[in-house]
Homo-oligomer: A and B are copies of this chain.
Amino acid sequence: MRTRPLRVALLGCGVVGSEVARIMTTHADDLAARIGAPVELAGVAVRRPGKVREGIDPALVTTDATALVKRGDIDVVVEVIGGIEPARTLITTAFEHGASVVSANKALLAQDGAALHAAAGEHGRDLYYEAAVAGAIPLIRPLRESLAGDTVNRVLGIVNGTTNFILDKMDSTGAGYQEALDEATALGYAEADPTADVEGFDAAAKAAILAGIAFHSRVRLDDVHREGMTEVTAADFRSAREMGCTIKLLAICERADDGASVTARVHPAMIPLTHPLASVRGAYNAVFVEAEAAGRLMFYGPGAGGSPTASAVLGDLVAVCRNLLGGATGPGESAYAALTVSPMGEVVTRYHISLDVADKPGVLAQVATVFAEHGVSIDTVRQQGKDGEASLVVVTHRASDASLTGTVEALRKLDTVRGVASIMRVEGE
């Protein structure tokens, strides 16, 4: 084993960063044995230098992250700051100064992954980011490497723990959205401003990263259709139960049937209770992958939190250090397939639609005619009447999102349709 240690600069020392530093110290011997050389923490860039950080030598702490990555003797930069800037500039500067980078930054990777990969390649360095998607769950590496000889057709995942906690709570207790969100906030599963989670921004960034890797194509955050889960109601869960389903916020990346294009989207959807994703509880994450030869795989585990995310960061750190010692680099961006990302209108799936209608003869015939005119075939209809009001629950066969949108617009214009109570996609069948 060589004795000059590999030097690691840690950018950010919050929940994840402090755990990375702690494990680097407590498990230094294991890491050295697995890498083939010792690793040492050469500097820690923070915003608040005065804060006491147990186990971290105060002499290593700096507020000047730029100077740290420019030092020239840094082998690996671990970026756990998050957000676009200054993370992007710091990572690029790290490559320019000869360091490889391990990042947990989903937003940045989803927005600028191609440019960052290019910068890494230009300087012959690695960019690893297992921690950016689904915390500790090995997902990037299996997709980039284990399935490198296969053809992935679909990635279907619960990639946001906060929203899964809320939806699971609604499902198991009958609570409404706000009540479940309040509990998630009280327990620390949701942030004070939960927008990034509940509106699907976090999941959309992960969907972009997963789709890019799975389909060997560039998929950016803007390519991902995004709907949040704030409008899911207790009534939706009752409807789901009647169909033998539950509701999850899903990130769905699919290859079109003709193989020539792909789609990526995040939205709440009904999935059958028999689907492995249906039993993913609490803040856990799980990602289902369908590949041509491998068949159906699922990866399950904690999707967030300091320790799990640090585990993923450290796995990448070991890999990047091994590559440095071996004079090699790991797999870079693979975007050779250059498949087009189709708009949401071309997504084909099934739908569950609840309509409030007038309780009089002929309504069902009118409604069915509208579906038929838009080429949307009906699987089942359930009609419930009460006091002159009635509801119609329609479940369709597979149809394009554009056809369904057209159908709903036309339904809204019918005098006998008083309102469209909910529209939800049905996935995983």
Contact = CB atoms under 8 A, between A and B. Distances in A.
Interface string A20-48: 00010001001101100000000000000
Contacts of A298: 298-301
Contact of A149 (B147, B302, B314): B314
Interface stretch (A63-71, A317-325, A343-351, A380-388): A317-325
Interface in A297-340: 297-302, 305, 307-308, 310-319, 322-323, 326-329, 331, 334, 336-337
A136 B293 contact: yes
Interface residues of A, number: 58
A378 to B, nearest CB: 31
A136 B322 contact: no
Contact of A138 (B19, B142, B279, B315): B142
A241 interface: no
A216 B36 CA distance: 14
A146 interface: yes
A314 B148 contact: yes
Contacts of A295: 136, 301-302, 305, 307-308, 311
B216 A318 contact: no
A75 interface: no
B33 A146 contact: no
Contacts of A27: 149, 151
A293 B276 contact: no
A296 interface: yes
A315 B23 contact: no
Interface in A259-305: 276, 279, 291-302, 305
A145 B293 contact: no
A137 interface: yes
B315 A150 contact: yes
Most buried by B among A296, A315, A327: A315
A146 B294 contact: no
Interface of A: 19, 23, 27, 30-31, 33-34, 130, 136-138, 141-142, 145-151, 216, 276, 279, 291-302, 305, 307-308, 310-319, 322-323, 326-329, 331, 334, 336-337
Given A23-B150, A293-B308, 10 more contacts: A34-B148, A149-B314, A149-B315, A150-B311, A276-B279, A295-B305, A295-B311, A297-B301, A298-B301, A299-B299
10 contacts: A27-B151, A33-B337, A34-B336, A136-B295, A138-B146, A294-B312, A295-B302, A298-B300, A299-B299, A300-B300
